[in-house]
Structure 1
Amino acid sequence: MHTWSDSLRFAFQPVVNLATGAAAALEILARPESGDVLARAQREPELDGDLAALALRDAARRESLLPLHVNVFAGTLADLGGLDALRRAVREAGRLPWEVTVDVGPPFTHVPHRALLEGVDALRKEGFRVSADGVGDGDVPLRLLDDLAPDLIKLDASLLSRRATVRAMRTLCEEIGALLAVEGVETETQCAAALDAGAQLAQGDLFAPAARLPAAKVYVPELRPAVRAQRPAGPTVRDFVRPAALLPETASAEQVRRRLTGAAEVTGVLLVDAAGVPVRSVQRDRFLLSLSTRYGHALYADRPAARLGDRPRTVGVTATAWEVLDVVADGEHTRTADDVAVVDDDGRCVGVVRLTDLVRALAESRVEEAAGLNPLTRLPGSDAVTGELDRWVAQGRAFALSWLDIDGFKQVNDSAGFAAGDELIRSVGQALARAESDAVRVGHIGGDDFLVLADPERLGPLAAAVLDAPWSAGGEAVTLSLATVVCPPGSVLDHRQAAALLAPLKKAAKARSGASWVCGQAGREGFDVRRGARATAAACARGGAPTTG
C-alpha cells in the first residue's frame, strides 16, 4: 500500500565552521516528491515527530559521522514534549543524543510557551542540543528566545544588511553561551558579512547545496584580510570546534579501528561515559601502531580500546586559543598533535579542537595586528579602537571616547627637530600604553594624535597620567590637549556618531592655553572644562552636569 513516506526523500546540507572551513554538522531536510506532507506536519505533531525520526534513520543509512541537525516545528515540541520517536531512532542508529541538534522552527505565535520550554528541558535532560531556527525571518518573540537559551541561533541571511540587529544578536549569543549561525548564504559578500558580524557557523548554496548524499567537501572563500581584521582579538575555542568521533568507553579496539580507518578526517576517537564525559583519548597514529605489531591485532582487537588510550585533555567552550596552547604545552611532547576535547559546563564533550587550526588563526591575527600598528609607537590605529567601541555599543555599555594631541607640535619639530618630535610622540604613546587594560583601549591615529576608549570611571587616572607628566622636547616644556565625550548606554548607534560628538570638543580643548581637558556628554549641550584657562570644579567623569565653555 502506498503511504506518504514512499514519496518522501531527504537531502543533506553542511553547516560550515567559518574559522576552520570544514563541515561541523549536517542538516537533514525533508524533500517530498508529491503531496503536502510538510503542511500536514505543521498541523499534526505526531507526523512531524515521525518525520524527524525518519530523517535520523536516513542519515544513519548514509553512514555519516558528522553531528546532525533535524527540524521540528515549535508546536510539535510543545505538544509532544520529549519527541519519543526521535529518541528511539537515535538509539536504534547507535548515535548519541548530544550528536543531534533539534532545530526548533516557526511558527511560534500560537504555541504555548510554557509547554515549549518544558519540551526543550526534556530534550536537554536526554542530552540533545537545541537550536532556534528561522530567527529574523520568523515570528519568534525575543523574550521567548531568551527563555529558550538555545545552544545555537540560526539567523536568516537577509538580516546581514541590518548590522545593528546582527550585532545585538551576537551580544545575546555571548550572554547565553550560544553559537551564532547564518542560513541561506549564497554569495561571498554574505559570507564576509557573516564572519564580520561574529557568526561562527553558516550554511547555504555558496558552501554546498542540499543534496541526497552528504557533501564530502565544502567551499569556503578566501576572505580579504581587511574583513578578518575587524573580528575581535583573542579567538575563543568555540570558533574552532570540530565534530568529535565518539564511542562508548566500553568500545573494543576493533570498533575504534573501524572508526579511525573509516574516514580520513578522523584523527582520534574519544571514549565517553554514559553522560558523554570523555574518559579516554585514542590518537590515530599511536593506536594503529600498537595494532600493527606482530601480535598487536590478536592481542587487542576484542579487548577494550581504553587500554590503548590516554587521559583526555579538555578545555571549556569559553576557553581562549591561548589557554588551549597552555594545556598542550603542559602535557607530554609526544601528544602535541592530539585533538583537545571541548566540554560544556556539565563536562560533556561538544567537539574537539586541533592545534593546527589554533596556531594558524593566532599567527594570522598577529600578522594582521602587526600590519595595523603604528611603526613609531607600536600602537594600533583607529580601526582597532572604533571596532572595540562598536562592540561596546552593541553590548549596551557606557564608554568615554577621548582624543589627545600635543600642543604646537609643528613648532616642536621646527625648533627641536623631527627626532625630538618623534621621541616625544613615542613617550606619550608609551604612557598611554601603560594605562591599557580591559577597560581602556588606545590607538595612534597618526602624527601626534591619539584615540582612547575607556570606561567613564577610568577618566580621572587616565587624564592624570598624560596631563600631569612633565613633557618636554629639546629642553622646552610641552603641554597636551585632551577632549572627551561620555556616552551612556544607548546614546549613540556607532563610532561615527561618537566621533561627530567629539569633533567640537577637540576644537574647544585646543582653544585653551596650557594642558587642557574638556569633557562633554552625549545628549547634553555644552561641556565641562576640566583643565585649561577656564577650568571648573565640575567632574564629568563623576557624572557632573556639563557647563558650557
Structure 2
Amino acid sequence: MHSWTDTLRFAFQPVVNLRTSTVAALETLARPETGDVLAEARRDPELDARLTVLALRAATRTKTLLPLHLNVFAATLADLGGLTPLHDAVRAAGRLPWEVTLDIVPPYTHVPQRALLEAVTTLRAQGFRISADGVGEGDVPLRLLTDLSPDLVKLDASLLTRPAAVRAMRTLCEQLGALVAVEGVETELQCAAAVSAGAQLAQGELLAPAARIPAADVYVPSGSGGSVAAAPRSGPSVREFVRPAAVLPATASAGQVRALLTGSPDVSGVLLVDQAGAPLRSVHRSRFLLSMSGRYGHALYADRPAFKLGDAPRTVGVDATAWEVLDVVAVGGRDRTSDDVAVVDRHGRCVGVVRLADLVRALAESRVEEAAGLNPLTRLPGSQAITDEADRRIADGRPFALSWLDIDHFKQVNDGAGFAAGDELIRSVGRALQEAVPGHARVGHIGGDDFLVLADEEALDALVAAVLDAPWSAGGRPVTLSLATVVCAPGSVADHRQAAAHLAPLKKAAKALDGAGWVLGRAGLPGHEVRRGSGTAPARAGYAAAEPGG
C-alpha cells in the first residue's frame, strides 16, 4: 500500500531582499500530486507537524545554505504546544534553529490565543524565528499580531492597491522590530508599489517562481532598490540589508570550511558560531583560501581547527543603522574592510550578515537625493529632511523639539548692509546651528533667513547659547535672532504637520518680542513660556512668563 508521502513533492520559492536584489531565504512548499494533504493537515495537527518536518528534510537534500521558511497552521501550534519533532529534525540535519523561520498560517479563528502564544514562546526559546503569514487576506486579529511580535510579517499582494495599509503595517512592524514582506508579487507595478510602501522583502512569480530546484537567480525590476525614500543621517536600518550567513560550528576544521567555500562561490566568508549561535570567529574567503593554497597550506591546515585561521568577528545588533555598521567597519586594519559584518539578535545569536558594498550603494543613493535638496547658500538640507526625521521619531514614539529660527528685520539688514553681508550672515547662522550640538540635532535651511532645527529637548540650552546669546552683526550693525520651539512628547502629535501647526503661533509670539527672543511651548498643552526677550508677547494660560533674559 502506498503512503500519501509517496506522492508528496516539495517546491522552493525564494524570499527576495528588495534592497540588495538577492535571495534572503527559501520557503519550502508542499506540492501533493494526488489528494489534498494540506486540507487534511489543517484538520490534523499531527499530520501538519509531520509535513513541516518533511519540508525541512526536503530543503536539506538541496544542500542549500540559505535560511529556511517552513509553513505551519496556527491551530497546529496551539494544539501541540510547539514542534518538538521539528527541533530534533533541525539538529539532525546539521542546521540551527535560528536559520529556520516558521510561517504561521491562518486561519486563526477559533484558535485558542493563549495556547498559541505559549507555543510561540516555546519555539522562540528554542531559537526559531516567527513569521505571521497571510496578513491582509487572513483573519489574524491585530491584537494577536502585536502579541505574537513576529520577526517578519508577510502581506498578501492584494494590499498593494491600498498603499496606506501597507505603510501603516510598516510602521507597526518598525515598532515590533519586524520586517515586512509581500507575497504574490506578479508584476513590475506590484514590485514598485511594494518598495514604495516600505516593504523590505518579497516573493512571487515575477521575482522567482516556486520550483523543484531552488532558483539561483532572481529578477528584481531595475530601479526598485533605488526608489526607497532617502533616509536621514540616522540611516536605514541594518535589517534591510541582511543576507543569509554561512555558519559552521566553532569546532569545524579548516577542511570543512574549504569545502563550503569551494562549493559555494557566492559565499564571501564563514562565521564560526558556538552552540547558542553566537559568532566566535569570522573566516574571510580570500584570506582563508590564500592560506590554504600556499605551499604546504593544505597539508598544514586541512585537519586543524578553522578557528585558528579566523579573525574576531565584527558584529552589530539588529537595531543598528547602516551608518553604525560603517563605524564598525572603520575600526581595525584596512585588510578587513571587505569582511562581512555579523548581525546578531538580542540573545547574541547570528541572524545574518551585511556586506559593505550594499551599504555604500544605498547610502550613496541617499546622499545624492539629499544633496539635490541642499540650499545652495548654506549647503544645508531643506525642510523635507527635517519633517522626515520628525515623522520617524513620531512613529518610533520618541520625543523631540522642533524649532524655527530667523533673523529679525532681515530686509533692513539687506537694505542697509547689502545682500552680500546678508548672505554671509545667513551662512554664519547656519554654521553656528550645525556646530552647536553636533550629532544631536538636524538643521535645515528652508529659505531666506528661516531655519528649522530638530533636536532632543536636552540639547536646546546649548543651541540657544550658540545662536541667541552670541553677538551678531552685519555691516557693523547689531542683529538679533528669534527662536520658537515646540516640544513634542510621544503621542502628542500624529505627524510633522501637526507639529508645524503647534509651532506657527509660537513663531508669531517670538517675533513680537523685543531683541533676541525665544518662546517655548509643548504640543497638547495650553500656553507658552518666554525664555528669552521681553515685549508684547504675553504668555498664555498654562505657563508663567520667564524674566527677561532668563
> TM-score category by the smaller chain?
0.7 to 0.9
Summarize deviations over 1:313-360 as a string: whole Å, max 9, x none.
333333444444444444344333332332233332222222333333
- One-letter amino acid of the counterpart of residue 534, structure 1: T
Q: Give the structure 1 partner of residue 474 of structure 2.
A: 473
Tell me, yes or no, if the aligned pair for 1:12 and 1:28 is still in contact at 8 Å.
yes
Q: Mean alpha-carbon deviation: is it higher for 386-395 or for 405-414?
A: 405-414
Could you say what secondary structure the match of 1:472 adopts? Answer: strand
The answer to whether the aligner puts 1:414 opposite 2:415 as a matched pair is yes
Q: Is the 8 A contact 2:67 2:244 kept in 1?
A: yes
Contact 1:198 1:231 in 2 (8 A): no
Q: 1:518 to 1:196 in 2, by over 3 A?
A: farther
Shift of 1:143: 3.7
Deviation larger for 421-430 or 317-326: 317-326
Matching residue of 2:356:
355
- Residue equivalent to 1:63: 63
Q: Which moved more, 1:346-355 or 1:384-393?
A: 346-355
Identity of aligned residues (%): 73
Q: How far apart in 1 are the matches of 2:449 and 2:191? A: 38
| Aligned residue in 2 for 1:50 | 50
Partner of 2:548: none
Corresponding residue of 2:404 = 403
With over 3 angstroms needed to count, the CA separation of the structure-2 counterparts of 1:534 and 1:206, relative to structure 1, is farther
Map of 1:261 onto structure 2: 262
Letter in 2 for 1:282: V
Q: In structure 1, what residue type is equivalent to 2:64?
A: S
Residues 92-143 of structure 1, C-alpha deviation per residue, up to 9 Å, x if partnerless? 4332222111111222232222322232233233322222223344333344
Q: For residues 172-228 of structure 1, what are the alpha-carbon distances to aligned partners after superposition, in whole Å with 9 as ceiling and x for unaligned?
A: 544544333333444555545544555433333442233332221122332486743
Asked if residue 120 in structure 1 is aligned to residue 126 in structure 2, the reply is no
Distance 1:336 1:107 in 2: 47
> Secondary structure of the residue that 1:228 maps to in structure 2?
coil
| Structure 1 letter corresponding to 2:155 | L
Q: In the TM superposition, what whole-angstrom CA distance separates every residue of 1:496-530 from its partner, at most 9, and x where no partner exists?
A: 34445545665565566655556666567887777
Task: Tell me, yes or no, if the aligned pair for 2:527 and 2:540 is still in contact at 8 Å.
Answer: no
Q: How does 1:198-237 map to 2 (within 5 A)?
A: 198-220=198-220, 221-223=222-224, 227-230=228-231, 233-237=234-238
Task: Give distance in 1, aligned partners of 2:487 and 2:284.
Answer: 54
**Match of 2:377, as an amino acid?**
L
Instruction: Give the match's secondary structure for 2:204.
Output: coil
1:346 corresponds in structure 2 to: 347
Q: Is the 8 A contact 2:512 2:536 kept in 1?
A: no
Distance 1:331 1:309 in 2: 15
Task: Please report how far the alpha carbon of residue 534 of structure 1 lies from its aligned counterpart in structure 2 after TM superposition.
Answer: 1.7
Report the equivalent of 1:377.
Answer: 378
Q: CA deviation at 1:268?
A: 1.9
Q: Tell me by how many angstroms 1:72 deviates.
A: 0.7
Counterpart Cα distance in 1 of 2:250 and 2:200? 30
How far off is 1:484 after superposition? Answer: 4.7
Residue 353 of structure 2 aligns to which amino acid in structure 1?
A: V
**Cα 1:466–1:283, aligned 2, differ >3 Å: closer, same or farther?**
closer
User: 2:225 & 2:477 partners in 1: Cα distance?
Assistant: 46
SS of the aligned residue for 1:63 comes to coil
Aligned to 2:22: 22
Contact (CA 8 Å) 1:225, 1:368: kept in 2 or not?
Answer: no
Q: How many residues align?
A: 543
Alignment of 1:180-195 (within 5 A): 180-188=180-188, 190-192=190-192, 194-195=194-195
| Alpha-carbon distance change, 457 to 342 in structure 1, aligned in 2, over 3 angstroms | closer
Give, in whole Å, the separation in 2 of the partners of 1:144 and 1:356. 38
Alpha-carbon shift at residue 251 of structure 1 (Å):
3.0
Specify the alignment match of 1:139 in structure 2. 139
Pair 231,139 (structure 1): closer, same or farther in 2 beyond 3 Å: farther
Alpha-carbon separation, structure 2, partners of 1:489 and 1:161? 31
- Determine the C-alpha separation between the residues in 1 that align with 2:267 and 2:434: 45
Distance in 2, matches of 1:156 and 1:437, equals 43
Is the Cα–Cα contact under 8 Å of residues 12 and 27 in structure 2 kept in the other structure?
A: yes
2:432 corresponds to: 431
Greater CA deviation, 223-232 or 316-325? 223-232
Q: Distance in 2 between matches of 1:215 and 1:543?
A: 68
CA contact 1:168–1:394 (8 Å) conserved in 2? no
Report if aligned partners of 1:242, 1:353 keep a CA contact under 8 Å in 2: yes
User: In the alignment, which residue of structure 2 is the partner of 1:547?
Assistant: none
State the AA in 1 paired with 2:359: L
Question: 1:384 Cα deviation (Å)?
Answer: 0.6
**1: CA distance, partners of 2:460 / 2:314:** 43
Does the residue aligned with 2:54 lie in a helix, a strand or coil?
helix
Shift of 1:41: 1.7
Identify which range, 394-403 or 241-250, moves more after superposition.
394-403
- Using the TM superposition, give the Cα deviation of residue 67 of structure 1 relative to its aligned residue in structure 2, in angstroms: 0.7
What are the residue-to-residue correspondences of 1:242-257 with 2, within 5 Å?
242-257=243-258
Distance 1:175 1:487, change over 3 A: closer
Residues 502/241 of structure 1: CA separation in 2 closer, same or farther (3 Å cut): same
Tell me if structure 2 keeps the 8 A contact 1:153–1:180. Answer: yes
Q: 1:358 & 1:99 partners in 2: Cα distance? A: 23
Once the 2 structures are TM-superposed, how far is the Cα of residue 439 of structure 1 from its aligned partner? 6.1
Q: Does 1:536 align with 2:535?
A: no
Larger mean Cα displacement after TM superposition, 194-203 or 504-513: 504-513
Q: Higher mean Cα deviation, 348-357 or 88-97?
A: 88-97
Deviations 1:450-479 (A, max 9, x none): 123345676676556544544332223334
The offset of 1:385, in angstroms, is 0.5
Counterpart amino acid of 1:536? P
Structure 2 vs 1, CA of residues 254 and 84 (structure 1 numbering), >3 Å: closer, same or farther?
same
String of CA shifts for 1:225-277, please: whole Å, max 9, x gaps.
Answer: 67431467334433322111122233343332221111221122223232223
Partner of 1:179: 179
Distance in 2 between the 1:70 and 1:456 partners? 46
Aligned partners of 1:139, 1:402: CA distance in 2, in Å?
44
Per mean C-alpha deviation after superposition, the further-off stretch among 435-444 and 378-387 is: 435-444
Amino acid at match of 1:387: D
SS in 1 for 2:229: helix
- Residues 436 and 442 in structure 1, CA contact (< 8 A), matched pair in contact too: no
Greater Cα offset, 263-272 or 362-371: 362-371
Q: Which residue of 1 is the match for residue 495 of structure 2?
A: 494
Letter in structure 2 aligned against 1:209: P
Give me the CA root mean square deviation.
3.5
Q: CA deviation at 1:71?
A: 0.9
- Whether the 8 Å contact between 1:192 and 1:227 is mirrored in structure 2 is no
Compute the displacement of 1:60 (Å). Answer: 2.0
CA contact (8 A) 1:104 1:132 kept: yes
Show CA shifts across 1:117-170 (max 9, x none): 232233233322222223344333344333333322333445556666555544
Residue 422 of structure 1: CA displacement?
A: 0.5
**1:61 Cα deviation after fit:** 2.4
For residues 459 and 469 of structure 2, what CA distance do their matches in structure 1 show?
Answer: 16
CA distance in 1, matches of 2:544, 2:42: 55
In structure 2, the gaps of 5 or more residues are 546-550
User: In structure 2, what residue type is equivalent to 1:247?
Assistant: L
Give the superposition deviation at 1:405. 2.5
Task: Name the aligned partner's letter for residue 380 of structure 1.
Answer: P
What is the CA–CA distance in structure 2 between the aligned matches of 1:49 and 1:512, rounded to whole Å? Answer: 72
Amino acid at match of 2:451: F
Asked if structure 2 preserves the Cα contact closer than 8 Å seen for 1:195 and 1:228, the reply is no
In structure 1, C-alpha distance between the alignment counterparts of 2:328 and 2:69, rounded to whole Å: 31
Gaps of 5+ in 1: 545-549
The SS at the match of 1:229 is: coil
